[in-house]
Structure 1
């Protein structure tokens, strides 16, 4: 069937009266009707509410009102650990979701204010941890879509929505986006409100969008950055949020150094990922200076420190519920909590201290290269999507969650087994990572759709 337009193109067509918000919602609902039984990306689809809102927005256009933003009339999904007024927040657990949320999380309120249409709640792994979800990988149902933002990534890949909010504590935006052949943005830590988002680890949690294009990520992120943090005026705190992506492509186009991460960590990349990402980097050499950068020795311990923080904070958050109803927790989240209960306070404090130290060492290293505005690049995942008994290995993503640096993954090709691979970009500011990922996306031009989408109606 015809693919969805990009968000920017859809906004243009709505503004010109060629498309109605209702048309977009109906196309997304048609995809949900056809493919949801096979993919299982949604916990709740608010069909009636989405259609009603689409008609309301269409009526405002007919009355001569201008669209509130490029997200006006755009259908979006929300990961089911984020509160949406009127919908339960189930968190993938029988312990939650007895009553609907009474108000929107700030990130959701920002999307409503922009005119986005909320289609419903997407599947999460239990409490955003590592227990495999019911969601299937759109490229091959025998493989995982990743975790924990599994439903968000699969729904975007199957064009059931234009974008979806996910969260990441280890690799839960980057990994499912890569496994499902779409793009994902993990913002800098602390730049988006986590209010009314079920926590896993409050020093590591991030909220960010998953979409099919970097430009789509940017348009969603623009609204989150501008309005989701307590209503602070973006022109004061985040002036970059006022600009479009083309502005940052122009600003950072002169900084063309791609630093390929060189670390013992990369030894975990399997041959399929190595071959696919190496081919992508070879294509980029015509447009960028591509050179290896050995990371500080302290980087070799970031996975240990990351896990230490995550397990302690997960155990603290779930301690009372776990004590009362341990049998209702999945095996992976159970292991996480039990491990966290055994970590000493001294070891936990060391891990928190090392967050700033390693981040500063990395900044000094880039400065010594004469290009603090250069962008790091590495594979998004250790392997293409593994089998459905796991959510995959977050080893290539957790370091950047630990350091709180912004990252974007884009599709960079299909591995020899037919599954997507992603290329992950890391920088110190959001404009840097958007500009570099956006430029590389245009060069690589990897926009393959899951074969399931080509199934005739």
Structure 2
């Protein structure tokens, strides 16, 4: 998979299609051929119908020719995690309990995608109900390794060149971790930036929608199209979407400064990962300074678990009551622990989110982004599960924007993600800083 043919950037692809220099049909046919080549080994798709993709592309080209279609994602196919409703497509959520379910309407993000000219390409594999039990997807770099989870298929489809862009979700580490393991850019916007109406609800306090791409600019272009307010999602607000794409590709007004946070879990990192980050810090001498987490931040791991498991128990009550024997042992255990959490415990865990974010404000007065590992190491063996999300948990709990960049390699030659985290509400600055870091390391 390492020698895969790489497409131009998505902004260039969409511009060519919009100008009539290429067509959505041409791109769709190229991707269909790539799916046919890679899918037998990668198994990223829960549902893919080549004829349907081609029909969408031909229809787009015909409408573009009449001046009726366009947008920033003009004619670009986008892979969609199989917990997100796309009208007429199966949405089975990675569980036999939802087998045969067909969505009757689009999720808010799919409606936004279509308005921007994007084409829902198909449904990508998710772990069971977006938790920990793995699906069939393999890591494109090594089929004996995990692609991560729960957005397994979305990350793998982009990494294998089967899709130029993909949408996923994160409640703990489900965008950042698979992006790191598969060697692509994964971007989890700040909490409430992208509406979740029409997306499987796992934890209303923690669920985020995120994106996968091959570059920071590509991720910014897709995310910008999805940002917005939807009255059905109380986490969103009626604010103008920031110009993520333009800011991400713009020049930083000054040399960015990075707060290097090894985290209290550094001793759990694989030795080769520790060495790789040591080399990165040497290359960033003068731009990165070691910093400690605010007091009590390490406790967020327990607070996150309290919220997530209590809300999973509520969200999946029907599945547990009607089909607990068909749930994995890990999910059944999470639900049963969640059912024992009291309302007081849950409320206390939620109430700590705001103060912890405010404690980070002082750090962001001096630094543009937090620099930290995305995972504890490279992708684990497939049979060992989807990997530990520990390095993502704190930032998801806080609702802070985060991005994984495929900048390092482990001792086994597999991708190792570098995670940047931004202040909540400052996504555009984070993406601009991320793009600077990529360019700086590629062209020192």
Q: Settle same-fold status: TM greater than 0.5.
A: yes
Counting only pairs closer than 5 Å after superposition, residues 377-392 of structure 1 correspond to structure 2 as 377-388=371-382, 389-392=384-387
Task: Return the match for 1:290 from 285, 288, 291.
Answer: 288
Counterpart CA distance in 2 for 1:164 and 1:244 is 16
* TM-score when normalising by structure 2: 0.93
RMSD over aligned Cα, in angstroms?
A: 2.2
- In the alignment of these two chains, the number of paired residues is 436
Q: CA deviation at 1:346?
A: 2.3
Q: Do 1:272 and 1:384's aligned partners in 2 also have CA atoms closer than 8 Å?
A: no
Task: Return the match for 2:8 from 5, 12, 16.
Answer: 5
Q: Do 1:249 and 1:436's aligned partners in 2 also have CA atoms closer than 8 Å?
A: no
Counting only pairs closer than 5 Å after superposition, residues 26-45 of structure 1 correspond to structure 2 as 26-45=29-48
Kindly tell me: are residues 74 and 416 of structure 1, through their superposed partners in 2, closer, same or farther at Cα, counting changes over 3 Å?
same
Matched, 1:395 2:396: no
Counterpart CA distance in 2 for 1:198 and 1:172 is 14
Counterpart CA distance in 2 for 1:39 and 1:90 is 19
* TM-score when normalising by structure 1: 0.91
Counterpart CA distance in 1 for 2:232 and 2:305 is 30
Counting only pairs closer than 5 Å after superposition, residues 160-179 of structure 1 correspond to structure 2 as 160-179=162-181
Counterpart CA distance in 1 for 2:231 and 2:438 is 29
Q: Do 2:201 and 2:315's aligned partners in 1 also have CA atoms closer than 8 Å?
A: yes
Q: Do 2:137 and 2:153's aligned partners in 1 also have CA atoms closer than 8 Å?
A: yes
Q: Do 1:284 and 1:443's aligned partners in 2 also have CA atoms closer than 8 Å?
A: no
Kindly tell me: are residues 83 and 62 of structure 1, through their superposed partners in 2, closer, same or farther at Cα, counting changes over 3 Å?
same
Matched, 1:357 2:355: yes
Q: CA deviation at 1:403?
A: 0.1
Ranges in structure 2 where 5+ consecutive residues have no aligned partner: none
Counterpart CA distance in 2 for 1:197 and 1:353 is 25
Q: CA deviation at 1:359?
A: 1.2
Counterpart CA distance in 2 for 1:157 and 1:260 is 27
Kindly tell me: are residues 237 and 419 of structure 1, through their superposed partners in 2, closer, same or farther at Cα, counting changes over 3 Å?
same
Partner of 1:277: 277
Matched, 1:418 2:419: no
Task: Return the match for 2:90 from 84, 88, 91.
Answer: 88
Partner of 1:325: 323
Q: CA deviation at 1:68?
A: 2.3
Partner of 1:145: 147
Q: CA deviation at 1:280?
A: 2.7
Ranges in structure 1 where 5+ consecutive residues have no aligned partner: 447-457
Counting only pairs closer than 5 Å after superposition, residues 92-131 of structure 1 correspond to structure 2 as 92-131=94-133
Q: Tell me which moved more, 354-363 or 180-189.
A: 354-363
Q: Do 1:92 and 1:124's aligned partners in 2 also have CA atoms closer than 8 Å?
A: yes
Partner of 1:455: none
Matched, 1:51 2:54: yes
Counterpart CA distance in 2 for 1:345 and 1:128 is 24
Counterpart CA distance in 1 for 2:140 and 2:123 is 18
Partner of 1:24: 27
Counterpart CA distance in 1 for 2:76 and 2:237 is 24
Counterpart CA distance in 2 for 1:365 and 1:4 is 38
Counting only pairs closer than 5 Å after superposition, residues 254-269 of structure 1 correspond to structure 2 as 254=254, 256-269=256-269
Task: Return the match for 2:157 from 151, 155, 158.
Answer: 155
Q: Do 1:277 and 1:412's aligned partners in 2 also have CA atoms closer than 8 Å?
A: no
